[in-house]
Structures are given as C-alpha cells and as structure tokens.
Amino acid sequence: MKLAELQRQFLEYLEIERGRSVKTVENYQRYLTKFLDYVKTDDPSKLTEDMVREFRLYLNRQPGTKVGGRMEPMKRKTQNYYLIALRAFLKYLRRRGVESLSPERIELAKVPERSLDLITPQELVRLLEAPDTTTPVGARDRAILDLLFSTGLRISELCSLNIDDLDLTRDEFSVRGKGDKIRVVFLSERAKQSIKAYLAKRKDLDEALFIQYGKNAKNASELRLSVRAVQRMMKQMAAKAGITRKVTPHVIRHSFATDLLQNGADLRSVQALLGHANIGTTQVYTHVTDKHLRDVHKRFHGKGGN
C-alpha cells in the first residue's frame, strides 16, 4: 500500500478511534504531508534514517518568527511537532504490520526548558477585581476570571461551556478536555457567586454560558463568546489592573496550578485537575513552587561572615 493511502487511513484512525479533535488531525496532516513531499517516495519500506536526518536539516533552515526585524529559524519546539507526527505515523504502520522505518529511530530535538508566564499574587487580585460588575459585560468578565482561577480551565474549554453544564448547587462539574477526555473541576464559593450574579443579568435564552454583548452580538450568527474575544477582554482587564506584562487565559491557568502547589497540593492531583496526559507537563510548575529550596537559600546563603 502506498504512503499517501496509509496516511489517509492513519488520519481517519486518529479522528475516529483515538478521538482526536479535527484541529489536531489537520495539524498531523500538514506535518506528515510536508515530510512525504520532501522525501518524494510513496513506498513505506523505502523510508530511511538518512531521509529523516535530511528533513530535519531542511526544517532547521526554514524561517520561523521575526525578532527585531530579523527572521529567526524555525523553533526546535515547532520542528518537534513534525517529528512527533512522523513517529506516531510510523507506530501506526508497525501496528498494521507494514514494513517501514522503526519509530524508535526518531529522536526529538532538545529544547530549552519551558518558561512560565506568571503574574504575582497581588497582580492576580487586581486582575480579578478589575471588571465593573454593575454592568452585564463586567459581571460576565468577573465570572470568566473567577471561573478560570477556580478551575484552571483551558480557554477552549471555557468558551464551549453551556449554562446546563454547571449545577450551581454543587461545587463541581465535568468538562471535556483535550483528546475528548472528561475530568472533574471544582468551583470556589467566589466563582459560584460571580456566575450567579452574571446569569441574573442575562435576558436572553442562549444556551452558551458566556455570550457577546453590544454590536458584536447584534451582528453575530450566535451569541457564544469566542476565544479571541476572551483574550481581548483579558488584555483590557490587565491594563486596567496596571499589569504591564502580557496576560492571557493561560496565565491564569498557570496561577491556578502554582497556587495549588504552593499550598501543599501533590503533583499528581494537580495533573488531574489540569487535565494533563503526562505528568512531565505538570512538572514545569515545580520550578516556581519549591518552597523548601527557597527556605534553604534564605537560611544558608551568604552566611560566610561578610
């Protein structure tokens, strides 16, 4: 069977059997197509380590983002996306009994440790207090911010919520996250009260939990608030709160995780609350929450007598 047909079947397998989102499948298609176009063979048995090595050199020389007027090469993290897709495809071929390159021969490029965009606890308080809750828009924005900090939701998860998804007589609800995995998240009392106050100001019958207002709502085919609209709102609230650094919904997710760890939560529990498939993803937060190391430094550093 030719590689093009195997690729098509692999993408169908990802969507139907593995339950990957349409966006994820589209990304895998783009990464694999670029590789197959580069190697110019349709025979899976002809794939070699040399082909992969040359493809990696090709990616490393592709333009990435412009920094200070100068075009930087493609980031290694981005290059790894192509290699991850290729490795998953080769694993699929092996399960199918198709002779090809071993997936274990694909090694990812080493990338710098991920840095976290964090705001201070004081900045977080100012951000949460920034919306004017006397207006429907302000009540909505306060509910969004409080819900994000209470649950650590991803922005896509937040925007897809419907009113019926939440039972405000309870402290928890289920959310469908990446890979269609369902997890339980928990509502703080503050978040519940903010959502109740927001819903009390709603006059519409739309099913979406968070909706647009003003001219955008009048021109929209549906009222549901978009990811982009939430990002714009947070930028405005950050400016109002006097926060100069970039603030995104993911920054609040970081604050949610670090707050839990700093107050004694274990890493496995935080992993489950965030919906991380791999605990290695969660471990990035330990670099900024290890109180023990901070205390050791304070107690013992610079005690030499000067």
- Check if 176 is active-site: no
Give the active site residue among 20, 56, 87, 154.
154
- What H or E segment, with its residue span, contains residue 252? helix 249-262
Give the active site residue among 20, 142, 254, 276.
276
- Check if 250 is active-site: yes
204 secondary structure, DSSP code: S
Exposure on the CB side of residue 116, measured as CA atoms within 13 A: 21
Contact 51, 39 (CB under 8 A): yes
Closest CA to 149 of 33, 22, 253: 253
- Check if 276 is active-site: yes
Residues 6+ apart with CB under 8 A from 241: 123, 126, 127, 129, 130
Give the active site residue among 46, 75, 91, 178.
178
**How many Å apart are CA 164 and CA 150, to the nearest integer?**
18
- Check if 253 is active-site: yes
What end-to-end distance do the CA atoms of the chain give, in Å? 75
Assign 3-state DSSP to the chain and report helix, strand, coil percentages, each to 5.
60, 10, 35
- Check if 292 is active-site: no
- Check if 301 is active-site: no
Catalytic residue annotation: 154, 178, 250, 253, 276, 285
